[in-house]
Amino acid sequence: MTKQKSQNTPELQKVEGHSEDRFLGSDVFRSQERNLPPSTRGGTIREEARDIDVYHQADVVVVGGGPAGCAAAWAAAKAGADVTLVERYNCLGGLSTGGLVMWIDRMTDWSGNHVIQGFAREFIDRMPKDGVAGPPMEDWGAREEAKVAYWSQRTTAFHGIVQWAPTLDPERMKLNAQEMLLEAGVRIVFHAWAARPIIEDGAARGVIFESKAGRQAIKAKVVVDTTGDGDMFARAGAEFDTDIEEGDVHHSMNTGWVLGGVNMDRWINWKVLYPEQLTELMNRGREELGFFQTPYVSWRPDIALFLGPRQSGLSALDVDDMTEVEIRSHRLMEGHCQFFRKHAPGFENVYSLQSASQLGVRHTRRLGGLGRIERADWPKGKPVADEVGVSPSISPKFPVVSVPYGSLVPRVLDGLLVGGRHISCDANSHGFMREIPQCWLTGHAAGVGAALAANAGIEPRAVNVDDIRRTLRTQGAHLHDDAAVKEARNEAATVA
C-alpha cells in the first residue's frame, strides 16, 4: 500500500549542484505546519522611563562575540584601543562554537594561496593539532584526482581543487578565542544581551544591555555591530537590505547537532562505493522524517556533524519562527539518530551527543553601506580603492574578491562599523561573504577601523584607509599591493 503524504508534508526545494553563483548545493525544506498556535498579539503598554547605571566606559564596544566580533575586539585592542565585548551566551565563537558550525570553509584562493589570514590564521595556528582536521599546506590548490576524491568527502575540495577549509573542535575554539582576547586586553562581558545602541547627535556612542544585574550601559567612542543580524544598526535607524535568493540555502535556518559513536570512514567508503544505495537511503529518510540531512565530517572520525535540515520560509527576526525551528530541529536530531542507527553503515552504535545552543541563522539583514560587494564585480579581479580584505571567490571562474571598507560603514549613521554576515553586499555575494572566514576578515577590518577612529577622536568614515591597511598588515592580514589599490583610486577619480 502506498503511503499518502499529508497536506503538511514539507515541500522540498532542491538546489541542483554547484553553479557560478551558488557554492553549496543542498536540499532546502519549506513547510506550513506549525507546532505552536499563533500568539495573541495586539495592543501596547508603556514602559516607564528610568535612569540606568553605566557599567563601563570604553573606546570601542563590540556587540556580539561570534567570529566577526572576536576578530574585531582582538584587532581593536591590538591597535591600542580600550575594548569591551558584549556577548549574550556563555562563550565566544558564535555559530562556529555554540552553533556547532565547526566547518570553517575556504580560506585559500583557487591556486592554493592563503588569502584570509590575520586573526583567522593566528586563531587556527593556536589551536591544538588534535583539534584541527584538514589537508596539509602542501595539498592546498592540489588538483590530483586521488587527493581531490579524498578531501571532497571531507568538505575541503571543491570544483576539483583542494582548499584550506578545516574542521575545528568547537570546545577548543571557545577557549582559544577567550584566551586570545584576554591576552590582547579585551574586557569580555558574558550573559549580556545588547538591547539597543546609545545614539547621541546622530552617532552611536555605546550600547544598553540587559543581564541578571538588570539594565546597564556601556559608553564608547565607537560601536562595532557584529550581532550577525544588524541589531544595533537597525535599531539606530540605519539603512539595510533584506532581499534573498529564494532557491539558495543561504537564507535558511536550522539547529545543528552532532552524533557520537560513529565510524565516518566506513560511512564515506560506503556512500562513495554505493551511490545508488545512498540515493535510496536519502529517499527513505525524506519519506520517514520529512526533513532529512546526511552528515558532514567533524574534527574526529567518531563524531558526525549535521548542519541541517535547512528550513526555508521562516524569519530569524520572529520569535515564533525561531521557536518553530528549535522544536523541529530537536525532534529531527532524535529522528536522525534512530534512522541512521537502523539503516546507515558506520552508524550502528550511534548516539545523540550534543545539539547546538545557538540557532543556525544564515541571513536576516544586510547593511546599506557606503560601499557594496556585488555580483557584477566578481569577474573584475582588481582591488577596490578602499580595500581592507581579500576573500576567495565562489568558483575558479572568478578571481579573488576585494572587500571595500565602505561595506562596513553605514551611509549616514556615525560612530558605528559592522563586521560579519550583515555587511553591505547583494544577496548573491552574501552567499559566501557570510561564511566564518569572511566574518573573521570583515571583523578584523572593522576592529582596526574602530580603534583608529577612537584613538584619533574622529568618525569611522573619516579614517584614512591607508592607515587601516598598514595596521592590518602589522596584524598579519593579506591585502593586494598598495600600487594596485592606488591605481584603482586613480581610475575611480577619472570616472568621477
Tell me: the pLDDT tens digits for 234-258?
999 999 999 987 766 777 889 999 9
Residues 133-184 have pLDDT tens digits of 999 999 999 999 999 999 999 999 999 999 999 999 999 999 999 999 999 9
Q: State residue 204 phi and psi, 5-degree precision.
A: -75, 130
pLDDT tops 60 at residue 74: yes
Of 19-23, 152-156, 365-369, least confident by mean pLDDT is 19-23
What is the rounded CA–CA span in Å between residue 254 and residue 256? 6
pLDDT class of 22 with cuts at 50, 70, 90: very low
pLDDT class of 8 with cuts at 50, 70, 90: very low
User: Domains in the chain, ordered, with CATH?
Assistant: 52-131+169-242+364-495 (3.50.50.60), 252-361 (3.30.70)
445 touches 419 (CB < 8 A) = yes
Burial class of residue 47 in the structure, from the number of CB atoms within 10 Å of its CB (0-12 exposed, 13-18 middle, 19+ buried): exposed
Residues 215-228 have pLDDT tens digits of 999 999 999 999 99
pLDDT for position 4: 34
Residues 34-54 have pLDDT tens digits of 898 988 889 999 989 999 999
Average pLDDT over residues 94-114: 97
pLDDT class of 2 with cuts at 50, 70, 90: very low
pLDDT for position 27: 65
Average pLDDT over residues 22-35: 64
The proportion of the chain whose per-residue pLDDT surpasses 70, expressed as a percent, equals 94
Residues 255-287 have pLDDT tens digits of 999 999 999 999 999 999 999 999 999 999 999
Average pLDDT over residues 389-410: 97
Q: What is the CA radius of gyration of the chain?
A: 23
Compute CA 187 distance to the chain's CA centroid, rounded to the nearest angstrom.
23
Mean pLDDT of the chain: 93
150 touches 161 (CB < 8 A) = no
Report yes or no on whether pTM surpasses 0.85: yes
What is the rounded CA–CA span in Å between residue 210 and residue 219? 14
pLDDT for position 462: 98
pLDDT tops 80 at residue 357: yes
Residues 411-429 have pLDDT tens digits of 999 999 999 999 999 999 9
